[in-house]
Amino acid sequence: MTRLFSALTLATAAAVLALPPDLATFAADTPETPKVKSTREKVLPAKLKLDVDKKMLRAIISDDLPAAVKEATGITLKIEPAPGSGVTLTSSFELKGEMTLAEALTKLCEEKSWGWYVNVAKPGDQKEGAIFLTTNPKERGYKEGTGPSAAKEVAKKDEPKAKDKAKEKEKETTKDEPKAGADAERTASDLLTKARVQNNLKQTDKAKATLSEIIEKYPDTKAAADAKKLLEKLGK
């Protein structure tokens, strides 16, 4: 029995170690924590005053940007290459003028065709809510395969054919309604975060389109009410 237990323990440990570092400790579909949401909603839109001459990336992400974020928001932020990403810390960049953190990160990444995302980790993890730089240019705020756009793609794939929609509605029960409502709130909230980031990046037309999508598809959610207010500010 002891040998069997040891064998099972070793097999489990091997399976965990075989996973990428971020997946070994945290499921990809785990809801975002308050700290992660704080990074998205308070840190990324924060206006920073930057005067960084040509300098290596290592110094920019370990000193200049975190210091600027701390001064603007009072929040301590970690920025680092994602594990095994291949991002070179000796590359040199220049950042000057007033811009949001999201704009600064995008500017850094566009020069090298890199990407960046907010790291989703379990509460209390040292890298919870940190910014990870990657060599994947498709990643802008969210890790590829996650976030509002991914949820939208999944919804498209799972959408039943028109002839089956009537049958699906008949199968729905009162018990399932709360779950559907929770899913709608979550998706609408993710879209609202996306719209705010687009607005902070001065992508006004995209932000308006995203806000209109929330109001049209999820009219009964709290996010829809917030979307209406923001859309009024931007001007229809």
pLDDT along the chain (236 residues), means of 10: 44 44 43 90 95 93 95 95 91 93 93 93 92 94 81 58 63 50 87 91 90 91 90 80
C-alpha neighbours within 13 Å on the C-beta side of residue 78: 14
Residue numbers of the domain that contains 129:
34-141
Question: Are β-strands 115-118 and 140-141 bridged in parallel, bridged antiparallel, or unpaired?
Answer: parallel
Q: Confirm whether 6 is domain-assigned.
A: no
**130 domain-assigned:** yes
Predicted local confidence at residue 163, as pLDDT = 60
Do 46 and 61 lie in one domain? The reply is: yes
Q: What is the DSSP track for the chain?
A: -HHHHHHHHHHHHHHHHHS-HHHHHS-TTPPPPHHHHHIIIIITT-EEEEEEEEEEHHHIIIIIHHHHHHHHHS----EEEPTT----TT-EEEEEEEEEHHHHHHHHHHHHT-EEEEPP--TT-TTTT-EEEES-TT-EES-TT-HHHHHHHHHHHHPPPHHHHHHHHHH--GGGHHHHHHHHHHHHHHHHHHHHHHHHTT-HHHHHHHHHHHHHH-TTSHHHHHHHHHHHHH--
User: What's residue 32's pLDDT?
Assistant: 85
- One domain for residues 89 and 106: yes
Considering the domain architecture, whether residues 85 and 130 belong to the same structural domain is answered as yes
Amino acid 18: pLDDT: 44
**Residues 94, 193 share a domain:** no
pTM: 0.53
Last residue of a domain, one of 110, 141, 172: 141
Which pLDDT value is given to residue 10?
44
Q: Are residues 75 and 42 in the same domain?
A: yes
pLDDT at position 50: 95
* Alpha-carbon distance values, 26 to 9, 23, 73, 119, 198 (Å): 19, 5, 28, 11, 28
Q: Are residues 59 and 135 in the same domain?
A: yes
CATH number at residue 126: 3.55.50.30
Same domain, yes or no: 69 and 128: yes
Check residue 40 and give left, alpha or beta (phi > 0: left; psi -120 to 50: alpha): alpha
Which tens digits make up the pLDDT trace of 95-132?
Answer: 999 999 999 999 999 988 999 999 998 898 999 999 99
Provide the pLDDT for residue 183: 86
